[in-house]
Protein backbone atom coordinates (compact mmCIF):
# COMPACT_ATOMS: atom_id res chain seq x y z
CA UNK A 1 0.00 0.00 0.00
CA UNK A 2 1.30 3.46 -0.90
CA UNK A 3 1.20 6.42 1.47
CA UNK A 4 1.33 10.13 0.82
CA UNK A 5 1.83 13.05 3.20
CA UNK A 6 2.08 16.22 1.12
CA UNK A 7 0.94 19.76 1.82
CA UNK A 8 0.93 22.69 -0.61
CA UNK A 9 -0.02 26.16 0.66
CA UNK A 10 0.01 29.69 -0.72
CA UNK A 11 -0.42 32.44 1.82
CA UNK A 12 0.93 35.44 3.66
CA UNK A 13 3.58 35.17 6.35
CA UNK A 14 1.95 36.32 9.60
CA UNK A 15 5.07 37.22 11.62
CA UNK A 16 8.71 37.69 10.70
CA UNK A 17 10.36 34.26 10.40
CA UNK A 18 12.42 33.29 13.46
CA UNK A 19 15.79 31.66 12.72
CA UNK A 20 17.22 29.43 15.48
CA UNK A 21 19.65 26.55 15.79
CA UNK A 22 19.62 23.19 17.53
CA UNK A 23 22.21 22.27 20.16
CA UNK A 24 24.25 20.69 17.35
CA UNK A 25 24.17 23.93 15.32
CA UNK A 26 21.62 22.92 12.69
CA UNK A 27 19.58 25.97 11.65
CA UNK A 28 15.81 26.00 11.48
CA UNK A 29 13.18 28.62 10.71
CA UNK A 30 9.67 28.96 12.07
CA UNK A 31 6.84 31.21 10.94
CA UNK A 32 3.07 31.29 10.68
CA UNK A 33 1.30 31.31 7.34
CA UNK A 34 -2.22 32.62 6.75
CA UNK A 35 -4.39 31.14 4.01
CA UNK A 36 -7.80 32.65 3.31
CA UNK A 37 -10.86 31.80 1.31
CA UNK A 38 -13.78 34.00 0.37
CA UNK A 39 -17.32 32.78 0.00
CA UNK A 40 -20.92 33.95 0.16
CA UNK A 41 -23.06 32.84 3.08
CA UNK A 42 -26.74 31.82 2.86
CA UNK A 43 -27.76 35.51 2.97
CA UNK A 44 -25.50 36.36 0.02
CA UNK A 45 -23.01 38.28 2.17
CA UNK A 46 -19.32 38.09 1.28
CA UNK A 47 -17.34 36.30 4.04
CA UNK A 48 -13.67 35.54 4.49
CA UNK A 49 -12.24 32.65 6.51
CA UNK A 50 -8.55 32.59 7.45
CA UNK A 51 -6.63 29.51 8.58
CA UNK A 52 -3.25 29.77 10.30
CA UNK A 53 -0.51 27.19 9.70
CA UNK A 54 2.73 26.64 11.64
CA UNK A 55 5.65 26.23 9.22
CA UNK A 56 9.12 24.91 10.07
CA UNK A 57 12.08 24.59 7.68
CA UNK A 58 15.49 23.02 8.31
CA UNK A 59 19.10 23.46 7.23
CA UNK A 60 19.67 25.14 3.88
CA UNK A 61 15.99 26.03 3.59
CA UNK A 62 16.26 28.05 6.82
CA UNK A 63 19.48 29.67 5.65
CA UNK A 64 17.91 30.74 2.36
CA UNK A 65 14.87 32.22 4.13
CA UNK A 66 17.32 34.19 6.27
CA UNK A 67 19.45 35.32 3.28
CA UNK A 68 16.43 36.50 1.32
CA UNK A 69 15.23 38.58 4.26
CA UNK A 70 11.71 37.23 3.98
CA UNK A 71 9.40 39.18 6.29
CA UNK A 72 5.87 39.41 7.59
CA UNK A 73 3.42 39.99 4.74
CA UNK A 74 5.45 38.17 2.09
CA UNK A 75 3.42 35.88 -0.13
CA UNK A 76 4.94 32.42 -0.32
CA UNK A 77 4.18 29.00 -1.79
CA UNK A 78 5.22 26.23 0.63
CA UNK A 79 5.49 22.50 -0.03
CA UNK A 80 6.07 20.00 2.73
CA UNK A 81 4.50 17.36 4.93
CA UNK A 82 2.36 17.43 8.05
CA UNK A 83 4.09 16.52 11.29
CA UNK A 84 2.69 16.30 14.81
CA UNK A 85 4.68 16.72 17.99
CA UNK A 86 3.80 16.73 21.65
CA UNK A 87 5.52 17.75 24.86
CA UNK A 88 4.81 18.48 28.51
CA UNK A 89 4.68 22.17 29.37
CA UNK A 90 7.23 22.59 32.17
CA UNK A 91 5.44 25.63 33.60
CA UNK A 92 2.00 24.02 33.91
CA UNK A 93 2.75 20.30 33.63
CA UNK A 94 0.07 19.99 30.94
CA UNK A 95 0.55 17.90 27.84
CA UNK A 96 0.67 20.06 24.68
CA UNK A 97 0.65 19.18 21.00
CA UNK A 98 1.15 20.99 17.72
CA UNK A 99 0.68 20.24 14.04
CA UNK A 100 3.28 21.78 11.74
CA UNK A 101 4.12 21.78 8.06
CA UNK A 102 7.69 20.55 7.67
CA UNK A 103 8.71 22.71 4.68
CA UNK A 104 10.73 20.89 2.04
CA UNK A 105 10.63 23.65 -0.58
CA UNK A 106 9.21 27.10 -1.11
CA UNK A 107 8.68 29.72 -3.77
CA UNK A 108 8.59 33.39 -2.94
CA UNK A 109 5.67 35.03 -4.76
CA UNK A 110 5.87 38.60 -3.41
CA UNK A 111 6.78 41.14 -6.11
CA UNK A 112 10.07 42.97 -5.61
CA UNK A 113 9.96 45.79 -3.09
CA UNK A 114 6.86 44.50 -1.32
CA UNK A 115 6.72 42.68 2.01
CA UNK A 116 10.48 42.74 2.48
CA UNK A 117 11.07 40.24 -0.32
CA UNK A 118 14.28 40.47 -2.29
CA UNK A 119 13.64 37.71 -4.85
CA UNK A 120 10.68 36.68 -6.96
CA UNK A 121 10.00 33.33 -8.54
CA UNK A 122 12.73 31.36 -6.79
CA UNK A 123 12.21 27.70 -5.91
CA UNK A 124 14.33 26.21 -3.13
CA UNK A 125 14.59 22.68 -1.74
CA UNK A 126 13.91 19.09 -2.88
CA UNK A 127 17.28 18.95 -4.61
CA UNK A 128 16.12 21.72 -6.95
CA UNK A 129 17.24 25.31 -6.82
CA UNK A 130 16.06 27.32 -9.78
CA UNK A 131 15.84 31.05 -10.17
CA UNK A 132 13.85 32.82 -12.80
CA UNK A 133 15.53 36.11 -11.84
CA UNK A 134 19.24 36.83 -11.46
CA UNK A 135 21.07 36.78 -8.16
CA UNK A 136 20.10 33.48 -6.55
CA UNK A 137 22.43 32.40 -3.72
CA UNK A 138 24.85 29.87 -5.19
CA UNK A 139 24.84 27.62 -2.13
CA UNK A 140 21.17 26.74 -2.81
CA UNK A 141 22.15 24.83 -5.94
CA UNK A 142 22.20 21.08 -5.54
CA UNK A 143 20.64 21.14 -2.06
CA UNK A 144 18.65 18.10 -1.01
CA UNK A 145 16.82 17.81 2.34
CA UNK A 146 17.89 14.15 2.47
CA UNK A 147 21.47 15.39 3.01
CA UNK A 148 20.46 16.35 6.54
CA UNK A 149 19.81 13.72 9.18
CA UNK A 150 20.15 15.70 12.42
CA UNK A 151 16.73 15.91 14.10
CA UNK A 152 16.23 17.69 17.43
CA UNK A 153 13.61 15.21 18.69
Pairing of strands 95-108, 46-58: parallel
Q: Which of 4-8, 69-73, 125-129 has the lowest mean pLDDT?
A: 125-129
Residue 97 Cα to chain centre, angstroms: 19
Q: How far apart are CA 10 and CA 75, in angstroms?
A: 7
Domains of the chain, start order:
7-38+46-147 (2.40.50.140)
3-class state of residue 114 by DSSP? coil
pLDDT digits (tens, 9 = 90+) for 61-90: 999 999 988 999 999 999 999 999 999 998
Q: Name which residue leads in pLDDT, 126 or 76.
A: 76
- Backbone φ, ψ for residue 46 (5° rounding): -75, 130
Phi, psi for residue 123 in degrees, rounded to 5 = -110, 130
Amino acid sequence: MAYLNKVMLIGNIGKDPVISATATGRKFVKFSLATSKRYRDNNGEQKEQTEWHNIVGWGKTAEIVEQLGIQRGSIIFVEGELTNRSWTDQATGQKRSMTEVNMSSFQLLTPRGQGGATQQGSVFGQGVAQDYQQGMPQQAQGYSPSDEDDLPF
